[in-house]
Structure 1
C-alpha cells in the first residue's frame, strides 16, 4: 500500500505530529482499515527527506494510542479495533484545521462565502486526485 503523507516542513506543527494527525484522520475516515500496512519508517523518511526517528516517534505514539500494531515481518499495521470512527470523532479531527483556515481567511479579509467556495474547490481537487 502506498500511503501519501503531506509533510509541510515550513508548518509550525512538528513533522511527527503532522504524520500522527494524518494517520488518525485516515483511520477515522475509513480510508485505511484494520490490518492495512503502513509504509516503513525508512520509506517515509526517504520519500520526505526527514529523520527516520521522526517517523518512528509518530508510529510509536499511534501504537500507544492503540491505533497501530506491530506485526512481525510486516511492520506497522492499523490495529484490529482502532477505536470508534464515528462522525463526531471525524469532525473533531477536522476542526483544528478548519479553525486555522478560518483565521487565515479572516486575516486576508475574505468573506465566509469566498472562503467556503475555496474550501469546496479544494475538496473537489482532492477527490479528483484520489481517483487518479
Structure 2
C-alpha cells in the first residue's frame, strides 16, 4: 500500500465534514472530475458515490463504495475507475493538539492497474495522494462541508 500523511492545522472534525459530504469529493480527490449522485446514506458502509474520472471529453462514469467507516476517524473505500480497475483506499484522521494528522493508504486491488510494478504504482499513487491531501486541507481550512 502507498501511504501518505500530512499534518493539517484544521481539527479532525472539520476535515471529516468535508469527507462526509460526498458532493465535495471531486473538489479534493485528484482524478475525480465530477459527482453525479451520492447515496443518501453516505458515508455509511455500503453507500456509493457516483463519480466521473478523467478530463473532458475522456470522462468515465463509475462509482466508489464505502467498505468500512469509523465516523470522524476513518473511511475505507473501494474506489473504481475502470478500465484502470479498482483500489482500496483508507483515510484516517488522528486528532493532534494543534490540528490533525491525515493519512491516505491506497493500492490497486483489481484490474490492469494491479499489473503495474509495485514501485511504479506506489510512486504514482503517492504523488496523486499528496495533492489530494493538499486539496483536502484547503477545503477543511476554508470551511467546506459546514
Which one has the bigger helix percentage?
1
Which one has the bigger strand percentage?
2
**Normalized against structure 1, the TM-score is what?**
0.32
Higher relative contact order (CA 8 A, sep 6+): 2
Instruction: Report which of the two structures shows the higher radius of gyration computed on alpha carbons.
Output: 1
